[in-house]
Amino acid sequence: MDNLLETSPRPKSRPKTTLTYEDADKIERLVWAEARGEGVEGRNAVRGVILNRLASSRFPDTVDGVLDPKEFE
């Protein structure tokens, strides 16, 4: 077990994401469109998906790139 911990360290901090007002507004508009009937947890889940995608190398690193209409209705 100790070897597993040594070879797979957990990141100590998350990447920092800085958003412009315009990007934050785009995210909130999408959150409203996707989860307006949900509670706070549902809306936070949509925000979490967006922010995780921004931090991931598997997705574009811009808000416009992540908010692809094919990914969100």
Residue 12 burial (CB < 10 Å; 0-12/13-18/19+)? exposed
Give me the pLDDT at residue 61, please.
84
Lookup result for tokens 């315009």: 22
pTM listed for this prediction = 0.72
Q: What is the pLDDT of residues 5-60, one digit of tens each?
A: 444 455 555 566 678 999 999 999 999 999 999 999 999 999 999 999 988 889 88
**How many whole angstroms separate alpha carbon 40 and alpha carbon 36?**
9
Supply the pLDDT for residue 13: 57
DSSP category for residue 70: T
